[in-house]
């Protein structure tokens, strides 16, 4: 990055280059063990082929907000956040039995071809996908450790990786435990906070800041900005999941409904629903293979009860909280500008 001006496309290209080279080399080492591992190695590479690289961006600007300069080593360290995300996505798609991601078959679906002649082929493919996610998480740590940053810098940030992993897994566990239970907005927001919000915004910022030697006050500010913004990000994702275009999101619009997942959108719908509407929702939710008519019926109930509008209000309030926290930070202007732009881009997106 030749200047302090935030250029998202140029930054994304840098992260893409790091990930493509690193993962392709690891995939070659993996298949060198045995050519039969080829389909698994292919899923490793596909797992990092797409993405907006938002988590890497937050890590990068956590570093720059402390006053540190741009560096290739930092971009490599920031790119490791995308491997964490790739691992989480592979595991999440497996847990939710989602069929599509970025418009392509998810890892556990694609890997069925590799085991199609085996007994319990779907379970075997799921096991392979689980291991793909595990390997991606291991590679995240490897890329971070070999980024080229000084060992003393890496040591400052390493404890945060344990926090990230603990909270990410806790959020995924909470979603599993609360799926299919009575919808509750507070419970849904807690799942959002731990499953997505923290590892998407707060933790990358804190890791970037720790690498750069951020003080307590700045770290507190990163959390005050990152947690509400991460929640707004996932609330937007939930809205897009039901009301967005699958051509733009690359995911099936019925996933959350078929799985009866504990989203705030569903919880707000349930809270406002009367007895007849709850009976209708019970008939529709959790059905495998929900068709367009079923999706339309649930959307109609949600719109009639004003649930999407209330979720939009949650997004707006959390975005305002994040931007308010950002204004209170004494950070270089380029970092403040970039974090402001990122806040708007993650909450106003259409895919």
Residue 248 parent element (H or E):
helix 246-249
What pLDDT is stored for residue 1 in this prediction?
A: 44
Place of tokens 């063990």: 33
DSSP of 210-240, one letter per residue? HHHT--HHHHHHHHHHHHHHHHHHHHHHHHH
Say which residues have a Cβ less than 8 Å from residue 59's Cβ, sequence separation at least 6.
Answer: 77, 78, 81, 204, 205, 207, 208
Structure tokens at 94: 């497996």
Rounded to whole angstroms, the Cα distance separating 221 from 322 reads 9
Which region among 60-74, 162-176, 252-266 has the lowest average model confidence (pLDDT)? 252-266
269-290 residue pLDDT tens:
999 999 999 999 988 887 777 7
- Looking at residue 2, what is its pLDDT? 44
Distance of CA 250 to the CA centre of its chain: 14
**pLDDT at 258 exceeding the cut of 70:** no
pLDDT tens track for 233-247: 999 999 998 888 777
Angstrom distance (rounded) from CA 62 to CA 331: 10
Residues 6+ apart with CB under 8 A from 211: 62, 63, 68, 74, 77, 149, 153, 154, 156, 157
User: Which CATH superfamily includes the segment(s) 8-347?
Assistant: Farnesyl Diphosphate Synthase (1.10.600.10)
Could you tell me which of 177, 242, 229 has the C-alpha nearest to residue 344?
229
Choice among 137-151, 152-166, 235-249, 317-331 with the minimum mean pLDDT: 235-249
Span 297-344, pLDDT tens digits: 999 999 999 999 999 999 999 999 999 999 999 999 999 999 999 999
């Amino acid at each position: 990055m030749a200047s302090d001006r935030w250029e998202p496309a140029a930054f994304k290209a840098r992260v893409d280059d790091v990930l493509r080279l690193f993962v392709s080399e690891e995939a070659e080492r993996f298949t060198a063990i045995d050519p039969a591992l080829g389909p698994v190695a292919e899923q490793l590479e596909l797992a990092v082929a797409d993405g907006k690289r938002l988590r890497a961006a937050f890590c990068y600007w956590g570093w720059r907000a402390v006053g540190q300069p741009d560096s290739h080593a930092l971009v490599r360290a920031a790119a490791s956040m995308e491997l964490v995300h790739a691992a989480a996505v592979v595991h999440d798609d497996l847990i939710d039995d989602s069929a599509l991601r970025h418009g392509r078959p998810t890892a556990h679906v694609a890997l069925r071809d590799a085991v199609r002649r085996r007994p319990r082929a779907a379970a075997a493919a799921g096991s392979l996908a689980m291991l793909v996610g595990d390997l991606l998480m291991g590679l995240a740590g490897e890329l971070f450790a070999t980024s080229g940053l000084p060992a003393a810098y890496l040591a400052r940030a390493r404890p945060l990786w344990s926090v990230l992993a603990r909270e990410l897994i806790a959020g995924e566990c909470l979603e599993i435990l609360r799926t299919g239970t009575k919808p509750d907005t507070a419970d849904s927001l807690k799942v959002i906070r731990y499953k997505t919000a923290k590892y998407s915004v707060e933790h990358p910022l804190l890791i970037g800041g720790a690498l750069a030697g951020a003080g307590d006050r700045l770290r507190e500010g990163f959390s005050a900005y990152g947690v509400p913004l991460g929640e707004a990000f996932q609330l937007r994702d939930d809205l897009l999941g039901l009301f967005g275009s699958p051509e733009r999101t690359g995911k099936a619009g019925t996933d959350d409904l078929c799985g009866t997942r504990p989203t705030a959108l569903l919880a707000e719908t349930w809270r406002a629903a009367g007895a007849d509407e709850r009976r209708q929702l019970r008939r529709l939710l959790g059905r495998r293979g929900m068709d367009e008519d079923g999706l339309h019926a649930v959307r109609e109930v949600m719109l009639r009860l004003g649930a999407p509008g209330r979720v939009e209000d949650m997004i707006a309030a959390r975005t305002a909280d994040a931007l308010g926290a950002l204004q209170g930070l004494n950070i270089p202007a380029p970092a403040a500008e970039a974090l402001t732009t990122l806040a708007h881009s993650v909450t106003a997106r259409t895919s």
